[in-house]
Amino acid sequence: MTIRKKATQKAGSASKAARATEAPQARRHPEHSAAYEATMGSYAAALDLVHKREYATALEGFLAVEKAAVEEPELAERARTYAAVCNRKLAPPPVWPTSAEDRYHLGVVRANEGSVEEAIRLYDVALQQEPGSARILYARASARALQANTSAAVADLRQAVAADAKCRHQAANDPDFERIRDEAAFIDVIEPTPTGA
C-alpha cells in the first residue's frame, strides 16, 4: 500500500509539473481563445482559396474574418487588404492602379510576393497622392525593413507613429521588421526614451 501511494504521489507530481509548464504559456497568450483560433483558421482557408484563384469564395471568407476580428485590428486589416485583392481579381483589372488606395493594396500584395522594390515604388506614388498617410508610411517602412534598410525604414516608421501611435505596437510585433529589430534606431521608435520618438 505504501508503494502504491508513492507511485500515485509521483504521478501527481509529474502531472503538476506538466500543468506548471503549460500554465504560463496559456497566460502569455490569452488572445488565443477558441474564437480567435477559428478566425485564424478561416483566414488561412481564405488565403488558400486565393492561391487556388477561387477569388469569389475567398472574398466571402475575408469579409467574414474582417467582421469576426473586431478585437484583432492587424488581422482585420490583412483580411481587408486581401478582400480588396479579391475584388480587383473579380473585376476587370485596370492597366495601372490610379488611386492611393489601390496603389497601397497592390504594394502590400507585391511585398507579400517578394517584389519589394515594386511595392516601394507603389508606396512612393501613393504617398505623393496621400502625404502623411500612416498606413502607407508603415507599409513602406516594413518593405524597407525587409531590405534591411534600417535608416529609411526607421524614418518612415517614425512618421507613421507620429500620424498614428498604434503603428508603434504593430511594428513591435510585425515579423517584417525582424531584420532590423535589434538596431538601436528601431528600438528607439518602439521603446522611446522620454526625449525619443
User: For the domain that residue 111 is a member of, what is the CATH number?
Assistant: 1.25.40.10
Which pLDDT does position 192 carry in this prediction?
80
DSSP 94: P
Q: How far apart are the C-alpha atoms of 76 and 73, rounded to whole Å?
A: 5
Both 73 and 104 in a single domain?
no
Comparing CA positions, the residue from 127, 130, 153, 126 lying closest to residue 142 is 153
Cα distance between the two ends of the chain: 68
What are φ and ψ of residue 115, in 5° steps? -90, 70
Both 186 and 169 in a single domain?
yes
Which pLDDT does position 66 carry in this prediction?
92
Question: What tens-digit pLDDT sequence spans the chain (197 residues)?
Answer: 444 544 444 444 444 444 433 333 333 345 567 778 888 999 999 999 999 999 999 999 999 999 998 888 888 999 999 999 999 889 875 567 889 999 999 999 999 999 999 999 999 999 999 999 999 999 999 999 999 999 999 999 999 999 999 999 999 999 999 999 999 999 999 988 765 44
For residue 109, what are the domain limits?
100-190
Give the predicted TM-score (pTM) of the model.
0.52
Q: How far apart are the C-alpha atoms of 117 and 111, rounded to whole Å?
A: 8
- Tell whether 27 is covered by a domain: no
Both 125 and 181 in a single domain?
yes
